[in-house]
Amino acid sequence: MNDKDQLLRKAGFDDLPSALAAIEAMSIEVHQLLNEVNTLRKERDEARRAVCFLTVFDPEVSHLNYDDSEREEARSRGWDCFKDT
């Protein structure tokens, strides 16, 4: 048994094609997870923008004046939800 075969077996694979198939499957899963993260980030930012909009116009909640923008509200909360808009 050569070094390559020993490494494959040590990693839990019988042969190179099965190792490559596993790597391909993991790569696909990583890309799917990255897409899901991006989707969730967009949804989070949309929700944060809505909170900022509503907060600016509610004097009981907002520490800002009516003249301040939603972007200022986001900044005051440490959010960067307007970076892509």
Helix, strand or coil, per DSSP, at residue 51:
helix
Residues 34-82: tens digit of each pLDDT: 999 999 999 999 999 999 888 887 767 666 555 568 888 899 899 999 9
Q: What is the rounded distance in angstroms from the CA atom of residue 55 to the CA atom of residue 17?
A: 57
Q: Is the pTM of this model over 0.75?
A: no
Q: What is the tens place of the pLDDT at every residue in 60-72?
A: 766 655 556 888 8
pLDDT (0 to 100) of residue 45: 96
